[in-house]
Amino acid sequence: MKKSICLYFQVHQPTRLRLYRFFDIGKDSHYYDDFANRTILKRIAQKCYLPMNELLLEQIKEQKGKFKVAFSISGTALEQFDRYAPEVIDSFRALAETGCVEFLCETYYHSLAALGSEAEFEHQVLKHKTAIEHYFGVTPKAFRNTELIYSDQIGAKVRDMGFKTMLTEGARHIMGWKSPNYVYSCDFRSDLSLLLRNYGLSDDIAFRFSDSGWQGWPLTSEKFTQWASEAEGDILNLFMDYETFGEHQSEDTGIFDFMKALPKAVLGGGFQFVTPSEATRKLKPVADLSVPQPISWADEERDLSAWLGNELQQDAFNKLYGLEEKLSILADPMLWADYGHLQESDHLYYMCTKFFSDGEIHQRFNPYDTPYEAFINYMNVLSDFIIRVNNAIAEKQ
């Protein structure tokens, strides 16, 4: 059997908060920076989503269906596409119609609900599943949790919800001597197959592509295919942010030319492209994978420290999910929508205080000058939200 390549892209745009001052608490409950959300979304649509979707569509046609990819698109991204750039939805629909693109399920709000509330996690997964069916006419069969966060316990829950395939990180401290280039199974549920990201080859494209000081620069499709052919295993899982193309790696780096040439080079090198669900149908797990503590694809540690690594983040997280019991007795759609958007993992990511190995990456994606400003702004918003929840409960009694 030919060695397989599974190419998966994460598509997400956060709902950015406006500058929300202490004096706004209890007086103004509009939390979002609509101008920034619209401006950034429309810019990235022109630089990344539209040209890259067109490129992928061309390659699927040119390779006569042998080129395949997968996406997970967060609910918050879908909402912003609908509001500011509906042509992006149309371009994803065109990809869906080829039958060569798989759309994965995830948490609707790109949240840490898997860590905070089992009920909320299930609610968001079902909400996202419904959204994918609505927009693209397909029912997702495979699952990707926010930022590839995974543990044995999360895997068991995902399998209970009906998914047979889940994506996560090939974290070195979990894998040890084992290679990520095989299919594994959940330690708690052997009927859940796991696809593990090959972070070395993935990051060659996502982070190192334009680094002229990197020993692999310049990266060509032929060179990449050669590296792939030298890797052991049955499958190479290349998972990355979709914004890599045109946004993180600008067009003038040659990233689009690289992606245009890659399918032909890979197929000519004896590989086959597979979607995640195809991969786990064709390849059997080689072993169970034990992941007692959650892992992710973020930072050098590949753990939860990007979102819950300091007291600021933990305080915000605990206060937010501490509201669930009160919200459960309310049927206010506005409160539930705000609760969802306040769960977006980006808000906690902005509060990260790592200043060393991964500090530069955190700064690149952070609209705040300091993590402390991010915390204060978020907690001001959360304070107003708590007042609204308490008022709604008082009115109900």
Catalytic positions, please? 147
Q: How, if at all, do strands 69-73 and 101-103 pair?
A: parallel
Sign of the torsion formed by the C-alpha atoms of 282, 287, 293 and 297: negative
C-alpha closest to that of 32 among 86, 349, 24, 325: 24
Distance of alpha carbon 347 from alpha carbon 374, whole angstroms: 7
- DSSP characters for 98-150? TT-EEE-B--TT-B-HHHH-HHHHHHHHHHHHHHHHHHHS----EEE-GGG-B
Radius of gyration of the chain, Cα coordinates, nearest whole angstrom? 21
CA 109: distance to chain centroid? 10
Distance of alpha carbon 167 from alpha carbon 277, whole angstroms: 10
Q: How, if at all, do strands 271-273 and 288-289 pair?
A: unpaired
Where are any strands of DSSP class E within the chain? 3-11, 69-73, 101-103, 142-144, 165-169, 184-186, 193-197, 235-241, 271-273, 288-289
Distance of alpha carbon 372 from alpha carbon 363, whole angstroms: 13
- Determine contact, residues 302/172, Cβ cutoff 8 Å: yes
Helix axes 75-84 and 86-96, enclosed angle (nearest 10): 120
